[in-house]
Structure 1
Amino acid sequence: MRLPPLDRVLSPRTGYTRAHWETAADALLAAVEPYATEDSALYHLPGTHESWSGHLSDGLEGYARTLLLAAFRRDETALGRYADGLAAGVSGVWPRIEDRGQPLVEAASIALALRLTRPLLWDRLDDAVRQRAAAWLGDALTAEPWPCNWELFPVTVGGFLESIGHAPKASREAIDRGLERIEQWYVGDGWYSDGAGRAFDYYNGWAMHLYPVLHAWLAEDRDLLALYGGRLRAHLGDYARLFGGDGAPLHQGRSLTYRFATTAPLWLGALTGHTPLGPGETRRLASGALRYFLDRGAVDEHGLLTLGWHGPDPSVLQGYSGPASPYWASKGFLGLLLPPDHEVWTADEEPGPAEREDAATSIAAPNWLLQSTRSDGLVRLHNHGSEDVRYDPHYTRLAYSTRTTPSPSYDNSVVVGGDPSRTGIEPLGVGDGWAASRHTAGGGARVTGVVLVRGATEVRIHRVTGAEPGTPVRVTGWAAGEGTRSELLPVLGLDHSLTGHTTDGTGVFVALARLTAEPEPVAEPLAETVSVQPAGPDELHVRWRGGPGVSVAMTEESVQVRSLAARTDG
């Protein structure tokens, strides 16, 4: 992909400007054009990983997701091709929209694109084509979605159909029904679970916030925009911390092959005026993510986005991933809806959170602790509240980062009796530099876990109960990744191989961990950064070198973290 020269004046950190985004969008659109069918209704991109929906549905996915990119780019030549494809698609080529079928997902992208470009595409279609298209989309109004972010696809289709006066009653019912259903998953402070349970990941940004906020904005509904925009604003305060100094998003959750779709909520906040971020910071974070992936092989020699993270990588795929799935990355180009003279494009880049400070940020809703270090721009997520066992290992590990990937050999885990599973995660709270949870492992044993962080150092504490006497317990740390160094030291209850054994079915196991991306090894030995000493049968004292001391008291039901100086509840 040939991009313009870097602009280190306007964008001293990434070098990217609006011209880079426009050029990248144009290149991606040009690359997929040869793979369109003769009638332009389907885009059959190359690849061997066919989704469980089948070849025809995958072709529709290729059309819909690249149409969304053309809509954000407002490329009238490309939109003309997609108009031809729409006419053919709704004349019998496209599969029908049915309950819990992939066409429901793609209908939302098509409807959103049509709503955004109505004067350029929809209004130029023949009336007969418009009627057939509305009828095809209309099936989405009553199709049953999966109970997760899919509830927002009928909302998005309903918003477009209502705006053109098609089936107004059914459209309004679909909008109201979907918005009502996602309320049960809103957990506060700008965070949603993606369906029942505690599945927290990027779907918060590229689905749960994106569709309601865009719908409210396009409908010019002030009340809805105040509600959903306020939630977006709250979310972005946390969300901005999920990006490393090198632009990388945290490697956690499912559908990671959507890559720089992670930037969509950043742009959305600027587009609608609901963001706590300055314009220079917004562009820095978004451009950083785009450049991160383009610099690391996300686009192949044919100019196509591959199924993977950097390059092709089957470890980040799901059963629904097809050759065109990565083109949900199109959502990352939402910022092109902002005019060239908007301050988000004209302001000087400002550093993101990971570049400004060493920070330990607790996020109560998902029960996460984010740990970042300015010297290497590395962000680590300590997961004490997110779980979706269908997609292990990208939900259930103890920690994730912007520079590592979960390993098949169970990194960041507590292995009880040879069983590395972590199920039934129950949050036990977060606070200033700490997070805690409880989970089930090893055939029914219970593990109460606490992590405390300062700088790059982590104190990992695990209290195991309910195991057979003498059960082996092994603690694992970071699997070193791209340019990183990983350390793990035993402190209490563990031998040099990071293995210990329960006594009477119970045991407390403590290790120190450190993950860095410094060009040189950290001068200060890990063991000298902190001391951990028993202070009773269920209490430990943790004293940071040159810093505060805390008491950690654990039972199977609760965790209390208190300052040794002030003795206030944590």
Structure 2
Amino acid sequence: MKLDTKQDFRQWMFQVLDPLKPLYSEGCARLHLGDSGVTYPKVSAEMEAFSRPLWALVPFWLGGGTGFEDIYQTGLKNGTDPDHPEYWGGFGDYDQRFVEMAAIACGLIFTPGKVWEPLDEKGKDDLANWLYAINEHIIPDCNWQFFMILVNVALKKLGRRYDKDRLKSGLLKIESYYTGDGWYRDGGSSQKDYYISFALHYYGLMYAKAMEAEDPDRCLRFKERAVLFARDFLYWFDENGAALPYGRSLSYRFGQAAFWSAYVFAGLDDIPTGVVKGIISRHISWWMDQTMFDRDGILTIGYSYPNLIMAERYNAPGSPYWAMKLLLCLALEDDHPFWKAESEELPELSEIKLLKQADMLMHRNGKDVISYPAGVCEKYGHGHVPEKYSKFAYSTRFGFSVARSQIILHENAPDSSLAFVIDGDDYVFVRKYSDSYEVLEDRVISKWHPFPGIQVTSTIIPVEQGHLRIHEIESEYDCTAYDCGFSVEKFTKSYEQKAEGEKSSVTYDTQGCHVSGKGPEAQGIVIEADPNTNVLYPNASIPAVSYRIKKGKFIRLETVVTTFING
């Protein structure tokens, strides 16, 4: 799929959003897309599904497009009318509806002629009062501060009651999250993931566009930080358009490249416009080759295919439409250089790149993009935190796996991990987080414990066609350690798996992974992972080497993981 002209991008937006039209409620304020559970009530889930398409529609309208206006004018009127049966309701602290206010606020800021001016006075009063409620409740100390900021900016610009103090305090909190070199932390979280790009930078650049006259110094800072961040973020993208599957909220799919649309929207060009266009176009094309829609054309929860196993507890049926943030580029005027530019390939990038602020090494290993993170994450979170942040390696071509359970290797699917099974038990223990770590120019060193009484120091070193792992282990238990390579797709052309001596491999005609080891009683094995554990493909096998660990002894293991890709 080739996207080049503004009309191409518009047509693609309609391809994604048109299947929603029959599913809006009679009063247009709610959108029921499925029945899977989430941590917030049905009204919030249906309001979320209503709101998230606005991330594409507002830029589309700003860029001169027409369509969906009647639905959203009617829905905004009814959803904020306390007397209407489709009223979205009042709030509690940490309310999900505060998240969804941001897209509405952007509509009021950038396209008031579409979502504000058509309302009668009562409709305007109801909408303004409903939005103002974000100032009367507790919101998390994280990227959610931007939802409050954008709402207050919108109310201020419309001449409505807003909270000057909350606006100021929110902006100060965002400033406190900045860690340097273009990177933020997401509030108190130590995790560095797509929330830095599609949340903190994205909203910062929208603020910069909206408030340049009123708050020029801050807007300039937001832009300067985005320029620095972009130089690092290039490394998260594959030449084929895929972005690195890493971290949480992967069900937002093509939102992974939303930063690049915000980049051009804010007028930034340190990265050539043709390169940015190439990233966005290839990214969309890559996603359109995946099976992310159901038979009715509705985005599903999952990543490369529908998959509730890998989802977070906050993923409702409408949540994936946050991905529409990618289409902020539709706001660009018809004669903008973005539309005139030819899509360009990525610039020449270093084979090994230290992203110090992200606590990871990036490795462009042939056609694969691999990240070696330090295992920095919250100890408790929204689901599958160790799998999404604490594996030794993440790959654009092999993805990663999430556990179906902590019992039995094939249910745990511990790819790119050192997994321990203590004698006499069936539980599988992996790196949940690092107790301490060091990320150097050529290696990542972490100290961690899979279980009290087992201490591990792991050193990950990129090498030609893969990486070397050195593990130093002291254990109070007799156990078996399984050093696992990448998951490899199963049931494919020329599929083959082998386990001989200290080696194992899983391959098919276009790619594969080989693992070899040195250590006590090293033995190659292949783990046939449970279905739907890998985020890229529903069936996978994992080459690994097992080692015997004796209690009370210092053990050193060396494992080499190599891959090949022929397409």
TM-score by length of 1: 0.83
Q: 1:90 to 1:275 in 2, by over 3 A?
A: same
CA contact (8 A) 2:374 2:445 kept: yes
Hey, what's the Cα distance between the residues in 1 that align with 2:48 and 2:512? 40
**How has the CA–CA distance of structure 1 residues 152 and 430 changed in structure 2, closer, same or farther, with 3 Å as cutoff?**
same
Contact 2:454 2:477 in 1 (8 A): no
Task: State the shift of 1:140 in Å.
Answer: 0.8
- Say yes or no: does 1:73 pair with 2:100: no
The correspondence of residues 76-95 of structure 1 with structure 2, limited to 5 A, is: 76-92=66-82, 93-95=87-89
> Which position in structure 2 is the counterpart of 1:194?
186
3-state SS of 1:146 partner:
coil
Q: Which moved more, 1:119-128 or 1:423-432?
A: 423-432
Q: Does 1:54 align with 2:63?
A: no
1:188-236 Cα offsets, whole Å, 9 max, x none, are: 2222232324211111111111112211320112211121112211111
Partners of 2:521 and 2:58 in 1: CA distance = 57
2:19 to 25, 31, 34: 31
Q: How many residues align?
A: 499
Q: Could you tell me how far 1:358 is from its partner in structure 2?
A: 6.4
1:302 to 1:287, Cα distance in 2 relative to 1, 3 A: same
Give SS of 1:423's match.
coil
How far apart are 1:454 and its partner, in Å? 3.3
Match among 459, 463, 466 for residue 468 of structure 2: 459
- Change in 2 beyond 3 A, CA 1:492/1:344: farther
Question: 1:488 offset after TM fit, Å?
Answer: 1.0
Give the match for residue 558 of structure 1. Answer: none
Distance 2:294 2:477 in 1: 54
Q: Per-residue deviation at 1:43?
A: 1.2
SS at structure 1 position matched to 2:293: coil
Map Cα deviations across residues 54-88 of structure 1 (whole Å, 9 max, x no partner). 22111101111112321121144312320111111
Cα displacement (A) at 1:503: 6.6
Tell me, yes or no, if structure 1 residue 257 matches structure 2 residue 257.
Answer: no
Give the corresponding residue for 1:206. 198
Asked whether the equivalents of residues 364 and 429 of structure 1 are also in contact (C-alpha less than 8 Å), the reply is: no
- For residues 28 and 465 of structure 2, the distance between their equivalents in structure 1, rounded to whole angstroms, comes to 52
Identity %: 25
Decide whether aligned partners of structure 1 residues 472 and 307 sit closer, same or farther in structure 2, where only a CA change above 3 A counts.
closer
Structure 1: distance between partners of 2:442 and 2:480? 29
Letter paired with 2:127? A
In the other structure, the counterpart of 1:524 is none
The 3 A distance-change label for structure 1 pair 161 and 415 is same
Residue 3 of structure 1 is matched in structure 2 by none
TM-superposed deviation, 1:470: 4.6
Aligned alpha-carbon RMSD (Å): 2.1
Aligned match for 1:485, one of 486, 493, 512: 512
Counterpart among 204, 208, 218 of residue 216 in structure 1: 208
| Residue 506 (structure 2) pairs with residue 506 (structure 1) | no
Distance in structure 2 (CA, Å) of the matches to 1:446 and 1:276: 45
Q: Give the whole-Å Cα distance in 1 for the aligned partners of 2:226 and 2:123.
A: 36
Q: Whole-Å Cα distance in 2 between the matches of residues 357 and 518 of structure 1?
A: 21
Is the partner of 1:370 in helix, strand or coil? strand
Residue identity opposite 2:211 in structure 1: A
| More relative contact order, 1 or 2 (CA 8 Å, 6+ apart) | 2
Gaps of 5+ in 2: 404-412, 423-427, 491-509, 525-544
Contact 2:435–2:449 (8 Å) recurs in 1 = no
Moved over 4 A (4+): none
Q: Distance in 1 between matches of 2:338 and 2:550?
A: 56
**2:267 paired residue number:** 273
Within a 5 Å distance, the mapping from 1:230-309 to structure 2 comes to 230-309=224-303
Q: How far off its partner does 1:315 sit?
A: 2.8
* Residue aligned with 1:265, SS: helix
Change (3 A) 1:447 1:191: farther
In the alignment, the residues of structure 2 paired with residue 187 and residue 450 of structure 1 have an alpha-carbon distance, to the nearest angstrom, of 26
Rate the CA distance shift 1:399–1:248 in 2: closer, same or farther, 3 A: same
Amino acid at match of 1:40: C
1:438 is aligned to: 447
- 1:177 aligns to 2:169 (yes or no): yes
Displacement after TM superposition at 1:16 (Å): 4.0
Change (3 A) 1:469 1:299: closer
Deviations 1:289-333 (A, max 9, x none): 111111222233322212121231113311111111111011010
Structure 2 counterpart SS, 1:473? strand
Tell me if 1:474 matches 2:482. yes
